[in-house]
Amino acid sequence: MMSSTRTLVTTAATKPKEKNVNEGFTVHKGISIIKSFVDEIGVLEIQDACIDEDPITNKQKAVLKICLVEHDWLFVCTIDNEWIDLKACFDPPNQLKPEFIYKCINSWNENRRFTRLTIDSEKDLWLRGDFPISHGNTTYLKESFRDIICAFIAAMSEYQAYLVSEAGTYAKIADIEIHKFTSILECDESHTSEKCVLCFDKFQVGDKCIKLPCNHFFHRQEVEKYLYETPNCPLCRRSILTSSENENVTVEVTDSL
């Protein structure tokens, strides 16, 4: 299949120069435009290309694996008659704490026009961009494809630093807020008969815990993750933000499921 696709692309590339008029778009033309663009800029390499056809609808779809050579980054470009879809898979940055990952992804998606981040069940990050194809002349199509792919490459280069920076901001705010209203408790013998209700491990002498205003305490690493999302005690639901003058006021937690 790969060899036939290459033949197709090569044939398309050797056709006489197409007139600058409105023409119907095909996936074959899409491959030709992508190949021309890749050859021009010199930093990309097409590693695989094929055309799939739906046996029911007979609609064709081109799938290209493209490498950003300098970084050895791969992304997949899928083209049909209506859309160009770009996607790349990455491991989350090591510095990104699990409790902040969804906030950081949401922040990226709110501030990016052409790309979005998602995370799958295996905790892999996916960078994606879906763009409608403008059915115009070949020159305009090529310029559109150039803008689309350049925007995606820029996002590939920026996403990691953005997520780490956002996570640092969230962590700083959360740390200030949590420790403003709580205290650190180091377990001694009197605590070893009790369990942390979040991780179900018994408290050991020397364990670092966080004590909330309601006097309930939990292993620090467990309760911090919880409080970043919901500033209420996991046991009694009292808010850690409740002042001593209003200690009977609580924040209700609504289960969204």
Count CB neighbours of 151 within 10 A: 17
| CA torsion, ordered 212, 217, 223, 224, to nearest 10 deg | 50
Contact criterion met (CB below 8 Å) for 173 and 100 = no
Contact criterion met (CB below 8 Å) for 219 and 209 = yes
Q: Which two tokens stand for residue 59?
A: 């609609």
Residue 19 has pLDDT above 70, yes or no: no
Q: Which two tokens stand for residue 125?
A: 């990050």
CATH 3.30.1460.10 fits 2-175, yes or no: yes
- In angstroms, the CA 107 to CA 103 distance is 6
| pLDDT single digits (tens) 106-143 | 899 988 888 999 998 888 999 999 888 876 667 787 88
pLDDT band at 6 (very low <50, low <70, confident <90, very high): very low
Domain ranges of the chain: 2-175, 182-246
Q: Say what the pLDDT of residue 199 is.
A: 87
The C-alpha angle with vertex 49 and arms to 47 and 53, in degrees rounded to 5, equals 160
Residue 30 has pLDDT above 60, yes or no: yes
| pLDDT single digits (tens) 199-222 | 888 999 999 999 999 999 999 888
Most confident of 138-142, 143-147, 233-237: 233-237
The C-alpha angle with vertex 126 and arms to 124 and 132, in degrees rounded to 5, equals 165
Q: What is the pTM of this model?
A: 0.61
Can you list the alpha helix ranges (DSSP code H) found in the chain?
Answer: 2-13, 27-41, 101-111, 138-181, 220-229
In this chain, the answer to whether the domains covering 2-175 and 182-246 adopt an identical fold is: no
Q: Say what the pLDDT of residue 135 is.
A: 64
* 182-246 CATH, one of 3.40.50.970, 3.40.640.10, 3.40.50.920, 3.30.40.10: 3.30.40.10
